[in-house]
Amino acid sequence: MRVYYIKRMTTPSLKKCSLCLLPQTHETISFDIDGVCSVCSNSRKKSEIDWGEREAELFKITEQIKKLGKDYDCVVPFSGGKDSTFSLYYVVTHLKLRPLVTSFDHGFYRDTLLENRNRTLKLLGVDFISFTPNWNLVKDLMLTSLRDRGDFCWHCHTGVNAFPVRTAVEKDIPLVIWGESSTEYTNYYKTEQFHEIDEELFNRITNLGISAEDMLPRLQGNHEVRSLKPFMFPSQSEIKSKGIRSFPLGNYIKWDTRKQVETIKKELNWKGTSVEGIPPGYEYEKIECMMQGMRDYLKFRKRGYARTTHLTSLDVRQGRLSREEAETLVAEFENRKPFSVKLFLELLGITEEELEDIIQLNQIDPWNGNIPIQLGPKPKDYDAWEKKLIIDIL
Amino acid sequence: MTHVIGIVGLRHSNYRSVQKAFEYLGHSVKIVRSQEGLIGITHLVLPGVSSFESVVSELHEIDLFAPIKNLYGTQIKILGLCAGMQVMGLSSRESPGIVGLSWFNFECLPLSDIDGRRLFHTGWNVISRSSDSQFSQKLIGEDFYFNHSFYVSNDSIQPMTTYAYSIFYGTEVVSFIHSENIWGIQFHPEKSQRSGLNLLSNFVNWTL
Amino acid sequence: MNNELYRRIIPKILISKSVSVGKTNAITTRFYQHFRIMGTPTSQARIFQANIADELMVLNVDRLERDFVNFLDIVSKVNDVIFMPLSVGGGIKTFDEAARLFEIGVEKVVLDSVFTSNLGEVEKIAGRFGSQSVIGSCTYWSNESTANLNDSKRFLKSMDVPKRIKQMEESGIGEVIINDASKDGSRLGSNLRMLKEVVSTTSLPVIDSCGFGKTSHFIDSFHQGASAVAVGSYFAYVDQSILQLRNQLSNYGIRVRIK
């Protein structure tokens, strides 16, 4: 594949894929001679894979696991969102494994999500463990990672990825089955590769280049090392010695989001909801977190594109939307401040000016877009968020 | 079958990095500094960082030169790294008068530019060409870390050998060479991350 | 540059024991002064390993309370978690210190102040271990208006750099790294003018260091002929990993290792 070189211009504007709308500031992206991006080319490779063969291989692995006769066959990391719900459903009904379902509660789960979760766990009949870290630590971590990376989700990225594997190590469970493969949206690994969710992936993609050990001194002595343990991924040697495998289900079955959403809606009465900054028609996406709107907003300020670009690009790739239709949606829904900004600032105790300073420092070259003027609409469960997040002593 | 990787523990050879790489891959390693150390090994690695002369003279010093030389054509798989590959030839212009293991017919030459200034092939380079062998073909396009200033040119390779090259300042530098039970690697697989570790893994699992 | 080698991105891990008592931390600096603790050396090394850095550079920034034995221990632990070339520097002044570092698996030593105090030692090290195992470091302060701040008198002046480069070349080093201390940690870009001058006067590979803050800074450096960039604060504070950066650079036509 010959690489398409971007010419440097005096007034930089973002180069976008000629097929989808992903710009050059996307995490790992390159362009071919026709300007088609590597995420598009990678997704084409998906159809070249013999998924029947791969699924057969998965069944072989799971048969071996069952023979071990452990208390649980596997750990299934579960938030209640569409991907983890489908994974859990598949593990129970198709692979017929006995899972221990785990959830790392980052503190921002929305009510619709919790209702979905409750329904799914009861309908499928599984054992479930949830862990919620210290709220004061979470707020400190959010602020520190916001300052150091322009991304406040460090505790969530690391906690969600570490907790299931830590559980597997502690309880001697031989397998952790995740949801979609990272190759769906990024090029850190090749589609043909069977990548594992291991320490290397954690250090490469998950922890923003900061491990729990590195985070501790950045917290200015306010927390002890043991409070950060939930955010530490087990070492390679710990995992190897217990013979634990940890991989995404997306390595072995063809990931088709819309089809999977139909399945969980039908079988588990799964319900979606609206999310800040996302157009209607995508109510199955990212419904878990109250701060999703803020997260996408920061991504937009940093890289010049966000959730709407990502979702419409997926549809363009699958032929469900034309590029022009996608562009219209992006123009309308991105470049807006989410309503929840005020809540976010109050939660972290910073001013809008301070937030703006942080954003300015974190923009990824060559993007240097300005503050959007328009404010998004108030989410329907916003009052519930305020009630849950702002705890008054009086 | 358990493999035992013997690594010749030359003083200035950085053998520890090589040891660490094999151990990371899950193999048992034995540091060899005498003829007795050669007993029970399935593989032998000859690492080398400094000069042609220092490798050869230390091998003589610990009475390993002749025993290792006699391992040619045996069941023990041998890997020479960097200077360790160079001493598998006849000689090197770096150390005139010093005789190598003579398993290959080459003499190591200095890397220099058209003005005769000495060059250092230091950095990551790609394998660009290879002879027709199933294995060495797989190396093409892979990149590895090199650090040397004397090299083996393709002019003096004996016939029944497979090899691969990298290009540096227009010169074809032999980066990989193989004959019988011997592999020679000019670059540092123990410092070439995933591609290097894969190559070391292939060395261990290679069947003669 | 027509030598077919890939351009390299070399993250720097600056270590200091003096910042917090008893523990050796990875820190970032600003104008060659301690700035912030940003993690632990081995953890950062693992992260750079996972991000497929081309090489790693570990520098001891402690000057007064230099503890070489501790430094050796940290370097050894860092080397244990990586499978790439490791360059080490920071007050290395003797042949013995260099030898001990090579013994634990260090690929190259970075020598700086020893060029003014004891040139003979450099020749000895390069002679014994080979030119390709010595990087000559030249640290200067280019900002004349702030020349009296931050103890910057200990650095060379811009006009002294060419002479130092020549001296380093003659002592037998294999690579040059140039550091504009007045741009260190600024994230406003490296000193391209000096880079251009040095690249045109020496045939050795040049590593540009100090000041990177945006993708375009790296592009500028490589276009000016740097064979590698040594990067400190950038990876500590910007949400762009080496893999992401290399992708971006490759899109602009720069020959870097892309997996």
ipTM value, please give it.
Answer: 0.88
Residue reference for tokens 């105790």: A349
Q: How close is the nearest chain B Cα to the Cα of C83, in Å?
A: 5
Is residue A110 scored above 60 in pLDDT? yes
Establish if B102 touches chain C: CB-CB under 8 angstroms: no
Round to whole Å and give the CA distance between A286 and A291: 10
> Is C60 part of any domain?
yes
Which residue type is seen at C146? Answer: T
In chain C, residues 230-249 whose CB comes closer than 8 Å to chain A: 235-241, 243-244, 247-248
In this prediction, residue A1 carries a pLDDT of 39
* Mean per-residue pLDDT, B115-130: 87
| Residue C117 Cα distances to B50, C47, C92, C121, C175, angstroms | 27, 36, 11, 9, 20
Cα Rg, chain A, nearest whole Å: 21
Residue C145 makes CB contacts below 8 A (sequence gap 6+) with none
- What would the pLDDT profile of A42-74 be if each residue is shown by its tens digit? 888 888 889 999 999 999 999 999 999 999 999
In this prediction, residue A5 carries a pLDDT of 59
Establish if C3 touches chain B: CB-CB under 8 angstroms: yes
> Is C114 part of any domain?
yes
Residue A187 burial (C-beta neighbours within 10 Å; 0-12, 13-18, 19+): buried
Compare CB distances from C83 to B126, B147, B193 and report the shortest one's residue: B193
pTM: 0.91
How confident is residue A267, by pLDDT bands cut at 50, 70 and 90?
A: very high
Compare CB distances from C3 to B12, B169, B190 and report the shortest one's residue: B169
| Residue A20 Cα distances to A37, A267, A316, angstroms | 8, 32, 6
Percent of chain A with pLDDT over 70: 96
Residue A297: which of A371, A208, A349 has the closest Cα? A371
Is residue A229 scored above 90 in pLDDT? yes
Compare CB distances from C40 to A188, A201, A213 and report the shortest one's residue: A213
In chain A, residues 293-332 whose CB comes closer than 8 Å to chain C: 302
Tokens of A204: 């490469």
Q: What residues of C are in contact with residue B119 (Cβ under 8 Å)? A: 3
Establish if C19 touches chain A: CB-CB under 8 angstroms: no
Cβ–Cβ gap A204/C243 under 8 Å: yes
Establish if A214 touches chain C: CB-CB under 8 angstroms: yes
Establish if B149 touches chain C: CB-CB under 8 angstroms: yes
How confident is residue A144, by pLDDT bands cut at 50, 70 and 90?
A: very high
Round to whole Å and give the CA distance between C52 and A69: 39
Is residue C152 scored above 80 in pLDDT? no
In this prediction, residue B156 carries a pLDDT of 62
Establish if C102 touches chain B: CB-CB under 8 angstroms: yes
User: Residue C50: which CATH number?
Assistant: 3.20.20.70
Chains in contact with C, where contact requires at least 3 CB pairs less than 8 Å apart:
A, B
Residue positions of B annotated with a catalytic role: 82, 188, 190
Q: How close is the nearest chain C Cα to the Cα of B41, in Å?
A: 24
Tell me the three state secondary structure of residue B87: coil
Average confidence score pLDDT of chain C: 89
Range of the domain at C134: 8-251
* Mean per-residue pLDDT, A33-40: 89
- What would the pLDDT profile of B64-78 be if each residue is shown by its tens digit? 999 999 999 999 999
Average confidence score pLDDT of chain A: 89
DSSP state string for C53-120: -S-EEEEE---TT--HHHHHHHHHHHHHT--S-EEEESS---HHHHHHHHHTT--EEEE-THHHH-HH
> Is C256 part of any domain?
no
In this prediction, residue C1 carries a pLDDT of 43
Instruction: Judge contact between C201 and C225, C-beta under 8 A.
Output: no
Cβ–Cβ gap C244/A365 under 8 Å: no
Is residue C58 scored above 80 in pLDDT? yes
Is residue A4 scored above 60 in pLDDT? no
CA-nearest residue of chain C to A200?
A: C50
Q: What residues of B are in contact with residue C103 (Cβ under 8 Å)? A: 12
> Is C3 part of any domain?
no
In this prediction, residue A2 carries a pLDDT of 42
Is residue A277 scored above 50 in pLDDT? yes
Cβ–Cβ gap B147/C85 under 8 Å: yes
Is residue A3 scored above 60 in pLDDT? no
* Mean per-residue pLDDT, C15-27: 77
In this prediction, residue C64 carries a pLDDT of 76
Establish if C172 touches chain B: CB-CB under 8 angstroms: no
In this prediction, residue A94 carries a pLDDT of 95
Tokens of B116: 């005769």
Which residue out of C1, C2, C3 would a mutagenesis test of the B interface target, given it has the greatest number of B Cβ atoms within 10 Å? C3
How confident is residue A12, by pLDDT bands cut at 50, 70 and 90?
A: low
Which residue out of C4, C47, C133, C169 would a mutagenesis test of the B interface target, given it has the greatest number of B Cβ atoms within 10 Å? C4
Establish if C200 touches chain A: CB-CB under 8 angstroms: no
Q: C256 φ, ψ to 5°?
A: -125, 165
Compare CB distances from B125 to C2, C4, C227 and report the shortest one's residue: C4
Instruction: Judge contact between C126 and C134, C-beta under 8 A.
Output: yes
Establish if B160 touches chain C: CB-CB under 8 angstroms: no
* Mean per-residue pLDDT, C131-153: 83
Is residue C153 scored above 80 in pLDDT? no
Establish if C80 touches chain B: CB-CB under 8 angstroms: yes
* Mean per-residue pLDDT, A314-325: 90
> Is C194 part of any domain?
yes
Number of domains in chain C: 1
> Is C234 part of any domain?
yes
Is residue A197 scored above 70 in pLDDT? yes
Is residue C2 scored above 60 in pLDDT? no
> Is C72 part of any domain?
yes
> Is C1 part of any domain?
no
Compare CB distances from A6 to C47, C244, C252 and report the shortest one's residue: C252
Which residue out of A11, A16, A27, A302 would a mutagenesis test of the C interface target, given it has the greatest number of C Cβ atoms within 10 Å? A27
Q: Is the dihedral of CA C130, C131, C137, C138 positive or negative?
A: positive
